[in-house]
Amino acid sequence: MNKPLVMELLNTSFLFAVTTYVLILFFKMFDHATFRNPGFISLGFAIGFIAMGLIRIKRMLNLDYDNSSIVTLQKKIAKTKVLVLKFRKTEYLMLPFYTITVAPILLKGLLDQNIYSMLQDTYM
């Protein structure tokens, strides 16, 4: 396997594990509206990240190095690179919003700290 494909597999599998954990926490904290709304939004972002990762992996696996001519192989590799760069750009634009929405859930799940009460104590 080539290095970009391995990195893409690792990134997508790590994001899938984090998304599964956030989904479990989302269902545990479904009663609290302050955690339900960011959880729902962050799961939407995570599904988008995973979908883009799976599309990139599929495109990389569909490259046929043995039975195609050099010119068509170069065209397919160039199209794959352009797709990867477009998806990276989209992911980098989505990342701050994903981080903001997933932070309260992970803080509550991992450290048992409510970020909303911490903000109220600090600024009120």
Please count the residues of the chain: 124
Q: Which long-range contacts (CB under 8 A, 24 or more apart) does 8-14 make?
A: 8/53, 8/56, 8/57, 8/60, 9/57, 11/53, 12/50, 12/53, 12/54, 12/57
3-state DSSP assignment of residue 124: coil
Three state DSSP letters for 46-88: HHHHHHHHHHHHHHHHCCCCCCCCHHHHHHHHHHHHHHHHHHH
Q: Which amino acid is at 5?
A: L
Q: Which amino acid is at 35?
A: F
pTM: 0.83
Give the tens place of pLDDT for each residue, 65-112. 888 889 999 999 999 999 999 999 999 999 999 999 998 888 888 887
Confidence of residue 1 (pLDDT cuts 50, 70, 90): low
